[in-house]
Structure 1
Amino acid sequence: MLDFTYHRPRDLEEACRLLATYGPAARVLAGGTDLLVALREENRRLAGVNQIIDLADLDNLSYIREDGDELTIGALTTHGEVAASPLVRAYAPLLAEAAGQVGSLQIRNRATIGGNLANASPAADTVPALIALEAVAVLTSSQGERRVAAGDLLAGPNRTALAAGEIITALRFSKLPPQAGSAFLKLGRRQALSIARLNIAVILYWDENGRVTAARIVPGAALPVAARVPAAENLLVGSVVSEELARMAGEKVGEEMLRLSGRRWSTEYKLPVIAALTRRAILQAAGVKVDE
């Protein structure tokens, strides 16, 4: 394991001060389900890191709040808490579904939603859902606070656009209205404790005639970073969702995966699977019975 100095700040101000002091040599510890493994394995991404700042005492960063038409989730809220929250299940059900599929029960009770975003893994489960919800990350440092769209925070696989000394402190997003449907689907290598092989988050809005007015389609573990696929979204807008339309949108997602990720040894498997997973998620979000 890498040698490091351990810090346990009493409040956010002290945590930000420590980060400002140690700069690139410091890493923030939230749930620890990724960082501790990386430390133990002496992961090369931690080269030069010798200061660990544990946020365990910052209880005020663990909450789920309703604020008018928005929900705010503290960055230290665990996936288990997100999955079980009546507010999240009512107003952002795809996020509750995604959080409920992270790792095992033990991992869900430790891993945090802020940490899942900060880790920036292409296979993260909650990140596609957060992007589909157009969530905004609240970032705090010794210089103050700023807000960045969750998707814009991803700079590449396992890399973020967090500035030096910044901590993700909360995530905010609008509640889904009654005239919207959503879905999150995940395919792993096995039934339990599985890192996503592929996943997909979908949100559809429709008018009184059932025509799609807006769509958000975000595949995970398919692109270098989770991102929306406008070509697939635009295909749905203005139409009533059908099996054929959902199939065509799924193919668009596959084309985008091929364009951004290139052809690899896994492409022959992944290409038809991401297309099928997208089709199913679109039909589920639209309330159309899925034809297996």
Structure 2
Amino acid sequence: MAGYKIAGFLELKDVLQEVRHTCAKIAFISGGTDFINNNEGKNAELVIDLSQVADLKYIKDLGTEIRIGGGTTFACLAASPVIKAKVSALAQAAGRVGSVQIRNRATIGGNIASGSPAGDSLPVLAALDASIQVDGINGPRKLSLAETLLGLQEKEIITEIVIPTSPERRSAFVKIGSRSQVTIAKLSLAASITYNSSKRLIVAGKAAMGAIGKIPVCPLALQQFFSQRVVDESFADDLAQLLIQTVDEMIAGRASHPYKRSAVKGLAYDLTAVLFDVCKQN
């Protein structure tokens, strides 16, 4: 083990007080599922354990938005009736993170802070236009997901994720890995749409691809694709071609290009099937 000290707290205010008064180099840990693998504690002098901070663990439905504490586990997200009903893509992604044991420990704030391109929550949060609330030595800040992934300030923690909601919103998440269970995404795709159930029509939408770059990819052409669309077989075919073009533009020449160019077709059809089901059910 590295030569660092470990401190645990029960309230966020005490964490922030410690952060603002210590001169030590800090690393934060909550679920801890990536702490050893990512070598996060290598240069730390103080490791602050957030796992017992109760005011980082919540899911609040405020009508027009859902607020999620940064310490909320994926197991809680996958089981939450609110998340299932209003942002189903997040429930779908949460339910496919690692194993049962990992989902019981891993937190959404930790998944964002780790910033792995394969992080299952990241394309979902991008597609849902989530904002990230952080706090640290310079006080609270509200960031976009992209800003957060490009780098938090020193001694800054993710306290809350805010997702706008509406009755017309539907969402879906799919991923491809090396196996069906306990797999790291080689490609993932999330979409959030505004759906007119009386006309059975997608009015508008946004999609984000994961595991293809440092941050989820949301090309404008992919957003425009969802305007005034019916979810049918031609939808899947057209989406597949657009995703192939995106992969060609993003990673042409990389060793993974041929595989991902082929695999993304399957994502298009998988996403279409999930969207069809969620639209039909609501």
TM-score (norm 1): 0.86
Which residue, 82, 91, 96 being the options, matches 1:96? Answer: 91
What is the rounded CA distance, in whole Å, between the counterparts of 2:235 and 2:182 in structure 1? 33
Q: In the alignment, which residue of structure 1 is the partner of 2:14? A: 14
SS at match of 1:196: coil
Change (3 A) 1:233 1:33: same
The amino acid across from 1:215 in the alignment is G
Given that residues 98 and 125 in structure 1 are in contact (C-alpha distance below 8 angstroms), is that contact kept between their aligned partners in structure 2? yes
Q: In the alignment, which residue of structure 1 is the partner of 2:194? A: 205
In the TM superposition, what whole-angstrom CA distance separates every residue of 1:70-123 from its partner, at most 9, and x where no partner exists?
111111110000000011111111100100000000000000011111111100
Which residue, 106, 109, 112 being the options, matches 2:107? Answer: 112
In the TM superposition, what whole-angstrom CA distance separates every residue of 1:222-248 from its partner, at most 9, and x where no partner exists?
233213232122123123233223322
Q: In the alignment, which residue of structure 2 is the partner of 1:81? A: 76
Given that residues 181 and 287 in structure 1 are in contact (C-alpha distance below 8 angstroms), is that contact kept between their aligned partners in structure 2? no
Residue 255 of structure 1: how far off its partner (Å): 2.2
Q: In the alignment, which residue of structure 2 is the partner of 1:50? A: 45
Given that residues 2 and 42 in structure 2 are in contact (C-alpha distance below 8 angstroms), is that contact kept between their aligned partners in structure 1? no
**Structure 1: any 5+ residue segments left out of the alignment?**
156-160
Q: In the alignment, which residue of structure 1 is the partner of 2:267? A: 277
Q: In the alignment, which residue of structure 2 is the partner of 1:175? A: 165
RMSD: 2.3
Residue 287 of structure 1: how far off its partner (Å): 4.2
Matched, 1:124 2:109: no
Matched, 1:148 2:137: no
The amino acid across from 1:206 in the alignment is Y
Q: In the alignment, which residue of structure 1 is the partner of 2:255? A: 265
Q: In the alignment, which residue of structure 2 is the partner of 1:196? A: 185
Q: In the alignment, which residue of structure 2 is the partner of 1:33? A: 33
What is the rounded CA distance, in whole Å, between the counterparts of 1:132 and 1:236 in structure 2? 12
**Structure 2: any 5+ residue segments left out of the alignment?**
none
Range moving further from structure 2, 114-123 or 14-23: 14-23
Given that residues 233 and 249 in structure 1 are in contact (C-alpha distance below 8 angstroms), is that contact kept between their aligned partners in structure 2? no
What is the rounded CA distance, in whole Å, between the counterparts of 2:273 and 2:180 in structure 1? 23
Residue 181 of structure 1: how far off its partner (Å): 2.7
Q: In the alignment, which residue of structure 1 is the partner of 2:240? A: 250
What is the rounded CA distance, in whole Å, between the counterparts of 2:84 and 2:153 in structure 1? 32
- What is the number of residues matched between the two proteins? 278
SS at match of 2:36: helix
Residue 176 of structure 1: how far off its partner (Å): 4.3
Change (3 A) 1:191 1:275: closer
What is the rounded CA distance, in whole Å, between the counterparts of 1:148 and 1:106 in structure 2? 30
The amino acid across from 1:276 in the alignment is G
Given that residues 200 and 218 in structure 1 are in contact (C-alpha distance below 8 angstroms), is that contact kept between their aligned partners in structure 2? yes
SS at match of 2:246: helix
Change (3 A) 1:265 1:65: same
SS at match of 2:193: strand
What is the rounded CA distance, in whole Å, between the counterparts of 2:22 and 2:239 in structure 1? 47
